[in-house]
Structure 1
Amino acid sequence: MLCRIIYCIAVILATASVILLALFSPLPHRKNNHNPPLLALSFYIQQPQVGGGSATHPAASPPEARALIFHRTLTEGPENTSRVVGKAQGFIIPVESFAHSAFNIIYLTFHSHEYSGSISVQAKNLGHKEKEQLAVVGGTGSFAFARGLAVFAQTDREISNFDANYHIKLRLEFPNRSQNIPG
């Protein structure tokens, strides 16, 4: 008989604890917006200046070029005197057999009070057009796990594609973040 009473009390306590937990437990956080946070940025790639003049270092001479390796400055505005916010570096093999190579990546590295980190832009299928739309395939720091688009538009029409300045518009998504991105 005593076992039966203990069993009934245990069942009542278990049922009561389940009901109390259901009533007083916090609700799970639900995201009203299923879209990942977005960030739109606009920057310029500048050619390096030599000895204070307007001459530039060409990245490589296009007809003989086997690989294009470059190191450029990223600025806020189109003038080469604009505030420097980072650098653009890349290694691109324009040869037909390597056009789809995983080596064809442009790295945009930012060092400013707003952003610190890098963005990796896949440079496959470059057609040397005045405007290229490329895929953002990752990032670090402020741009960790970034995905999206990078539109490179040539700003100097009379200069060859390899020596031109570019305006970059980035539209980034952060699928692994639920909080707002600064900027």
Structure 2
Amino acid sequence: MLSNKLIFCVSVTLAVLVVILLATISPLPQRKPSPKPWLALSLYIQQPQTGGTANTRTVAPQDAGALIFHRVLTEEPKNTSKVIGKAQGFIIPVEQFAHSGFNIIYLTFDTPEYSGSVSIQAKNSGNGRRDELSVVGGTGSFAFVRGIAVLTQKDDRDTNLVVPYHIRLQLTYPNWSKTIPG
């Protein structure tokens, strides 16, 4: 009986010592900081190819409830260019919702270099050919990014071709070198 209690006490003591030893000599998890504090990307949001006449812009009627879109994201302006992700969005074009927090564009990347998404808030979008929008966050390779997204479309009425939107992202990463006291 005494030997069982002794074996139990020694086992518990050894287990506690192993846990303490592992806790003191194990390395702390390191968050790998971004190699650069910023990133600039130039991409193209392809317009859908429609039969018959070319659709150079997607415009919702003024009385439309919402404009929901799903487009392909490519490296180059040609629609045969390498697909690197997708662009999805939900825009309420009605004037009273023009500054709504619901107006969001998501760019999702799936490449060997980048994996994740960027969220763009389309609060200040206008009806022009150039819009400067706010990047409000991201996931994966773009975790917690902020910045701007400049969305432009060339006017190509002469050739009657479907023209992609060009989007330039200027992203800044959070500074992970600072530690939060706590």
1:97 aligns to what SS in structure 2? helix
Which amino acid letter does the alignment assign opposite residue 38 of structure 1?
Answer: W
Contact 2:86–2:108 (8 Å) recurs in 1: yes
What is aligned with 2:37?
37
Question: TM-score if structure 2 supplies the norm length?
Answer: 0.68
Q: 2:141 is paired with a residue of what secondary structure?
A: helix
Instruction: Using structure 1 for the length normalisation, give the TM-score.
Output: 0.68
Which range moves more in the overlay, 55-64 or 169-178?
55-64
* Partner SS for 2:174: coil
Question: Structure 2: which 5+ residue stretches go unaligned?
Answer: 1-35, 178-182
In structure 2, distance between residues paired with 1:126 and 1:164: 19
Task: Give the aligned length.
Answer: 139
Taking structure 1 as reference, are residues 98 and 172 closer, same or farther at Cα in structure 2, changes over 3 Å only? same
Aligned in 2, Cα 1:40/1:54: closer, same or farther, shift over 3 Å? Answer: farther
- In 1, Cα distance between the equivalents of 2:59 and 2:49? 16
**Match of 2:96, SS?**
helix
Aligned to 1:85: 84
Query: 2-side partners of 1:113 and 1:54: how far apart?
Result: 36
Deviation sequence 1:99-134 (CA, Å, 0-9, x none): 111110100000111100000001002111111111
Shift of residue 85, structure 1, vs aligned partner: 0.3
Aligned-CA RMSD value: 2.5
Q: Where does structure 1 lack aligned partners over 5 or more consecutive residues?
A: 1-35, 179-183
Measured against aligned partners, the alpha-carbon deviations of 1:109-168 in whole angstroms (never above 9, x if no partner) come to 001111000000010021111111111000000000000010001134439xxx852101
